[in-house]
Amino acid sequence: MLQNKSFVKRTRGGKITKVVREHYLRHDIYCGAPICKVCDTSQARLSPTPSTILIFDTNVVLNQIDLLENPAIDDVVVLSIVLEEVKNRNLSVYNRVRALCSNSLRKFFVFSNEHHKDTYVTEMSGESKNDRNDRAIRVAAQWYQSHLAGSARILLITNDKENKRKAIEEGISAETVESYVRSLSRPDLLDLLVQPASEDVNMEEVEDLRPSKRKIIYTEHKPMSEITSGLHRGIYHQGKLRVNRYNPFEAYVGSESIGDEIIIYGRTNMNRAFDGDIVAVELLPQDQWHEEKSLALADEEDEEEDVHLVPGSADDAPWTTAQPPGSAGVTESISSRPSGRVVGIIKRNWHSYCGSLEPMAMPAGSGGVAHALFASKDRRIPKIRIHTRQLENLLDKRIVVAVDSWDRLSRYPSGHYVRTIGQIGDRDTETEVVLIENDINTRPFSSQVLACLPPLPWSVSSEDLANSIRQDLRQLRVFSVDPPGCKDIDDALQCTSLPNGNYEVGVHIADVTNFVHSDTPLDDEASQRGTSVYLVERRIDMLPKPLTEDVCSLRADVERLAFSVIWEMTPEAEIISTRYTKSVIKSCAALSYIEAQARMDDSRLMDPLTTDLRNMNALAKIMRERRIQRGALTLASAEVKFQIDTETHDPLDIGMYQIREANQMVEEFMLAANVSVAEKILKHFPLCSLLRRHPTPTREMLEPLLRTAAAVGLNLDVSSSKALADSLDSAVADDPYFNKLIRILATRCMTQAVYFSSGDLSPPEYLHYGLAAPLYTHFTSPIRRYADVIVHRLLAASLGIQKLPAIFQDGTRLTSIADNLNYRHRNAQMASRASVELHTLIFFRKRPTDTEARIVRIRSNGFFVFVPKYGIEGPVYLTPRGDKEGGEWFVDEQQQKIRKMDGSMSYSVLQTVFIHLEIVEPQPNRPKLQLTLV
Amino acid sequence: MEYVSPEGLRLDGRRPMEMRQIRAEIGVVAKAAGSALFEMGNTKVIAAVYGPREVQNRSQQLNDSALVRCEYTMANFSTGDRMRKPKGDRRSTEISLVIRQTMEACIMTHLMPRSQIDIFVQVLQADGGTRSACINAASLALADAGIPMRDLVTSCSAGYLNSTPLLDLNYIEDSAGGADVTLGILPKLDKVTLLQMDAKLSVETFENVMQLAIEGCKAVATYIREVLLENTKQLEYRRGI
């Protein structure tokens, strides 16, 4: 049946046009209930004997999505008109509903009422669009009622009074969300409910009791029309708000219109914006630009610095390091950075947050509704006010909370409880928090994904051997060197002496793309996950376990498929020729770094494997030397290693991760393979290669390093990576740890390397600063990084052995893949750091320790120390907290010193101090690591 | 954007392999030798054929075959925004050429030397797939004019959006930027006379999309044949045979 839909639309040019679209009504849209005798039930998703079938209206879906996600709500018919409206209003809710509808464990069925011949309604004259849609929902509900005729109860859930009244008049049973949830008699579900707008009145009543808080706290957001015109006229600037990870009262808005970042100080200026919101900002007059600078570190409430791991790069480091607080000498230098205030929010980035409730006394009448403040684990998020009926259960739990609204009268946004993760401080709970915070998918692989795996047990077949693209390298002496206990071995090495005195050096990488084909569910999943995540006690794989640990892993003494890069090298490590091929190898040994090192060091061993190792090591040393000559930086990091109790999984000991020659040897060949592959793929695909670049740090970013260095009388030349590398080399003092310390400080001034598609940038920007390589990519770990999978496909295509998948022709797709990889990569790093932090906390719980530490940063009321032994960094307060104007201590900015007024004591940067590490619990259930001077 | 919902419905409620409603009428322009109106959903075109007749411009006359000329225009009211397009813009010139070449391939021009056949097609209402609709209309009009043809040419478009091959794209789907394959075939002879595609597709997907377009063309052919048969019956009846 054909129906024309016509409506009037305003075009981008501002003209009004009438649009007519065809709208086909169908007979073959089924109800989705398996009990139905008329419909085709092959696609049915509802349960066989549903007691009640729920139909939600648009506003309920939009507001109560957390309730819908709870497994208690099932047998839901989602109408297409509702989906459409939700999609227009809030895309993230739409995606969540879609996820529910496609989740095979839930019984959500999408009924395309808009295309069903009996449920399509035409707009009546004088009827608004909303009324028409409400009527469509009612018609659909009625249709279901008569269609299933008594075999199931149809319940329309709507919070709209008018809609409910009309529904009941038309003989449809309808209820509000609240009364429905009450009828389920599950008090925990009630917490999931978003309080409807009428609750605002209640809220004010509550605040009325505290007259001081009754005042308007935030300025009103400007209406959208005003924002649009303001943006147009250049008064306002649009951008994404990013809150400083280390100081939640300071935020940045990267604005394209003024080409700089606008700083926003304080919650009042942030005006209820959250991290990640797209906001409109108005610049403050220039004389106010540095006004609130000292406030930037002063805390409005009780926010505090925590002990944390040493940042790995500038991206994780506190921004405030660039602007030392306190002294007046620096204020002028930063006044050039514009500051502003938020006038409106263009797009909210609200989602759910992990954290815990602020400790509070139990209200007298237990069991009733209590108001509580929720503090997110992510410090960038303000506290959130929630209502709960289960306060006593939640106080010592980690919970997930979603934000609903933030009105002008309230200091905090209001939200609702979503779910409980577990006990605070429990290792599993905290690990889960880390994973949720970093948006890491830990769900088991779906059956569609697992269906893409090769039949197990898998072994190299005769077809693989007969394949002309695959070279048989099984006779070669190939071995792998990895950390002890490594199961996902993705690289193996080989070094053969040639008769002419040269070496044939091979890097063999697991041939993952032989199993992960593009455009399969497996590939999509891997591309979404982006990388494997390594936590202290567990690993979250990018590919299903059989692939990760068996089929792809280049284990010893089994035949495996590989993608090989083979060079002919002179004994001086000059590459004469490079060859790329798919191959079959059989690794003869899977060594750990320690074993490999021991073999090389043991002069009695003369077996061929050890000789190979020594030859490779000699080559690697030359290559490394040459790379450093070119200006590659040797940066140090303070990685720590835990010894984990095999039974309880509690950490037994921590220590710095030791880097051996064997590590460097493997790293060197991996770098060389990556560079060779990058050259090859870029030559064939100049516009769609996936490369990795490391931007040159700006002078500004290196500022903290230079200041520290100057304070200890060291002059660093940062004009180029080569100059920096040289001056880092010459930075030696009597103190053996000094050089490493300077390198660690240098590392945190660097930005992170990122993936990009070569079509997006110009060749000079491809540079990898840290490695001093004009081109670089990732090729050597396809089991645990998706970038390498893409590069494998590119390389295979450049060799002409496989066709290039279609997505490479789509520049925007490729860019979005690269962006996702960067995001996942960064999150994975953050998660592993957080996991280490968590284990450090567990470790010190039972072991208060005294140890040596180095001062890395001076603050007005103390200093930050770095504890080399445990790789952590944290504040040591000289004056008690809260006592800002102690006045006893005085900071010398030039020399980076903090002195007691009477001159009796002074501390300077990089000085060694002895500190005491202990876990304290200032508030119940909130353990934290405290550092005090001994 | 989502052009095919997870329920398998397109924006207008069709399934990926379904065509829009088609309708054809013969003899809508009394003055012409043959004429037809062809609708594919909201796309509506009219075609009129004049000839075979004397060649107007003697210098163009071909001694061994008939001269086929084609003119494609879009009515000013055919799209929502009433834009005045200059006559003979690049797009219409190209489509005129495409239609002429497609029709030339099926007309038995060698039977009518030193004569001229004019095909006029005009789009009355545009909603994607005008090229195909014009070819189908022209084919019907030629048949109505009784011009000897090897076979009926029929045409249909197909595209590829959201990783799904779609048959008979409407305007929204057409302007989505995905690949758009317009195919013209001689259904009885199983030959392709027109194949156009904008954007890129991998060979495998292209084959699927093309296969779908072939199915579409065949369906159009069946319908056109029915219409012609019905028309012939009418003529027969009127003659009183």
Least confident of A241-255, A670-684, B220-234: A241-255
Two tokens, residue A625: 């030397």
Regarding whether A700 and A609 lie in a shared domain, the answer is: no
Domain of residue B142, residue span: 22-239
Asked if A606 and A665 sit in the same domain, the reply is: yes
Query: Cis ω on the peptide bond leading into residue A457 (within 30° of 0)?
Result: yes
The confidence band for A924, taking pLDDT boundaries of 50, 70 and 90, is low
Give the CATH number, domain containing residue A71.
Answer: 3.40.50.1010
Min Cα distance A19 → chain B (Å) is 7
Distance from CA of A43 to the nearest CA of B (A): 10
Please write the tens of the pLDDT for every residue from A713-725.
777 777 777 787 7
**Domain total in chain B:** 1
CA-nearest of A54, A82, A57 to A180 is A54
pLDDT at A302: 41
Yes or no, beta carbons of A22 and B42 under 8 Å apart: yes
Considering the domain architecture, whether residues A138 and A29 belong to the same structural domain is answered as yes
Same structural domain, A418 and A452: no
For residue A17, which residues of chain B lie inside 8 Å, CB to CB? 80-81
Q: Label residue A364 by pLDDT band (50, 70, 90).
A: low
For A115, the closest of B13, B163, B201 (CB atoms) is B13
Distance from the B202 Cα atom to the nearest Cα atom in chain A, whole angstroms: 6
Task: Tell me the two tokens of residue A252.
Answer: 């940045």
Q: Are residues A513 and A395 in the same domain?
A: no
Identify whether A492 is part of a domain.
yes
Instruction: Identify whether B56 is part of a domain.
Output: yes
Q: What are the pLDDT digits (tens) for A811-847?
A: 788 888 888 899 899 888 888 888 888 888 888 877 7
Could you tell me if residue A839 is inside a domain? no
Question: A806 and B20: CB-CB below 8 Å?
Answer: no
The pLDDT score that the predictor gives to residue A815 is: 86
**Which of A710, A734, A750 is the last residue before a domain boundary?**
A750
Taking 50 as the threshold, does the pLDDT of residue A933 lie above it? yes
Does B10 fall in a domain?
A: no
Is A22 within 8 Å of B41 when comparing Cβ atoms?
A: yes
Q: Using alpha carbons only, how large is chain B's radius of gyration in Å?
A: 18
Q: Residue A828 falls within a domain, yes or no?
A: yes
For residue B21, give the DSSP letter.
P
The per-residue pLDDT for range A109-120, each reduced to its tens digit, is: 899 888 888 888
Give me the mean pLDDT over the A187-212 stretch.
Answer: 54
Residue A64 belongs to some domain of the structure: yes
| Average pLDDT of chain A to the nearest whole number | 79
- Are residue A762 and residue A614 in the same domain, yes or no? yes
Distance from CA of B13 to the nearest CA of A (A): 5
Q: Are residues A688 and A703 in the same domain?
A: no
Yes or no, beta carbons of B170 and A22 under 8 Å apart: yes
Least Cα distance to B66 among B82, B50, B90 occurs for B50
Residue of B81, B175, B205, B209 to mutate, interface with A, max A Cβ within 10 Å: B81
Q: How many domains does chain A have?
A: 6
What's the mean pLDDT in A4-17?
A: 65
Q: Measured between beta carbons, which residues in chain B are less than 8 angstroms from residue A11? A: 81
Per-residue pLDDT at B217: 95
Residue A431 maps to a domain: no
Name the residue among A856, A852, A886, A846 with its Cα closest to residue A869. A852
**Could you tell me the end-to-end alpha-carbon distance of chain A, in angstroms, rounded to an integer?**
85
Q: Residues A293, A356: contact at Cβ < 8 Å?
A: no
pLDDT digits (tens, 9 = 90+) for B186-241: 999 999 999 999 888 888 899 999 999 999 999 999 999 999 999 999 989 988 86
For residue A436, being part of any structural domain is answered with no
Q: Are residues A717 and A810 in the same domain?
A: no
Chain A CB contacts of B5 below 8 Å: 80, 110, 112
Is A156 found in the same domain as A80? yes
Nearest CA in chain B to A1: B21
Nearest CA of chain B to the CA of A924: how many Å?
49
Provide the b/e sequence for A196-235 (b: ≥16 CB within 10 Å): eeeeeeebeeebeeeeeeeeebbeebbeeeebbebbeeee
CB contact under 8 A, A24 and B6: no
Q: Is A884 on the interface with B (CB under 8 A)?
A: no
In total, the C-beta contacts within 8 angstroms joining chain A to chain B are 53
Does pLDDT of A736 surpass 80? no
- Asked if the Cβ–Cβ distance from B80 to A18 is below 8 Å, we say yes
- How far apart are alpha carbons A744 and A826 in whole angstroms? 19
Phi, psi at residue A354, to the nearest 5°? Answer: -95, 145
Q: pLDDT-derived band of residue A296, with 50, 70 and 90 as boundaries? A: very low
**Chain centroid offset of residue A658 CA:** 28
Nearest to A23 among B5, B13, B202 (CB): B13
State pLDDT tens for residues A130-153.
888 999 999 999 898 888 877 788
Asked whether residue A144 falls in the same domain as residue A157, the answer is yes
Residue B134 sits in a domain of what CATH number?
A: 3.30.230.70
Q: What chain A residue is nearest to B202 in terms of C-alpha separation?
A: A806
Of A770, A798, A833, the one marking the end of a domain is A833
Q: Do A112 and B42 touch (CB under 8 A)?
A: no
Q: Which among B9, B13, B80 has CB closest to A17?
A: B80
Look at residue A365 in the predicted model and tell me its pLDDT.
54
Residue of A5, A18, A21 to mutate for B, most B C-beta atoms under 10 A: A21
- The closest alpha carbon to A784, from A821, A758, A751, belongs to A821
A899 belongs to a structural domain: yes
> Do the Cβ atoms of B13 and A4 come within 8 Å?
no
**Residue A553 shares a structural domain with residue A667:** yes
The last residue of one of the domains, among A347, A373, A402, is A347
User: Could you tell me which residue, A864 or B53, shows the higher pLDDT?
Assistant: B53
Best of B1, B77, B169, B202 to disrupt the A interface (most A CBs within 10 Å) is B202
Nearest to A22 among B7, B12, B202 (CB): B12
| pLDDT per position as a tens digit, A636-653 | 666 677 777 666 667 777
- What pLDDT is recorded for position B206? 93
Residues 6+ apart with CB under 8 A from A353: A374, A376, A377, A378, A381, A384, A400, A401, A402, A403
Local confidence pLDDT in tens for the 241 residues of chain B: 788 888 889 988 899 999 999 999 999 999 999 999 999 988 999 999 998 999 998 899 999 999 999 999 998 888 876 566 666 688 889 999 999 999 999 999 999 999 999 999 999 999 889 999 999 999 999 999 999 999 999 999 999 988 899 999 988 898 888 889 999 999 999 999 999 998 888 888 999 999 999 999 999 999 999 999 999 999 899 888 6
The whole-angstrom separation of Cα A909 and Cα A855 is: 5
For tokens 């997110």, what's the residue? A376
- Is A110 in Cβ contact with B80 (below 8 Å)? no
Q: Is residue B35 part of a domain?
A: yes
Closest-CA residue of A relative to B128 is A21
- Indicate if the pLDDT at residue A336 is higher than 70: no
For residue B19, the chain A residue with the least C-alpha distance is: A24
Per-residue pLDDT for A852 more than 70? yes
- By C-alpha distance, the chain A residue nearest B178 is A810
Does position A363 have pLDDT exceeding 70, yes or no? no
Close Cβ partners of B164 (under 8 Å, ≥ 6 residues apart): B3, B4, B16
Is the CB of A21 less than 8 angstroms away from the CB of B21?
no
Quickly list DSSP for A740-792.
HHHHHHHHTTSPPPEEEEGGGS-GGGG-BTTTTBS-----S-TTTBHHHHHHH
Percent of chain A exceeding pLDDT 70 equals 85
If one counts every other C-beta atom within 10 angstroms of the C-beta of residue A564, the result is 23
Tell me: do A338 and A383 sit in the same domain.
Answer: no
Q: Among candidates A874, A826, A830, which has minimal Cα distance to A854?
A: A874
Residue A671 lies in a domain: yes
Q: Look up the domain containing A711 and give its range.
A: 696-750
Enter the ipTM.
0.90
pLDDT at A859 over 90: no
Residue A149 token pair: 């005729």
Residue A80 and residue B5: Cβ atoms within 8 Å?
yes
With beta carbons under 8 A apart, name residues in chain A contacting B11: 21
d(Cα B216, Cα A707) in Å, to the nearest integer? Answer: 73
Would you say residue B154 lies in a domain? yes
**pLDDT tens per residue across span A555-591:** 888 888 899 999 998 888 888 889 899 999 888 888 8
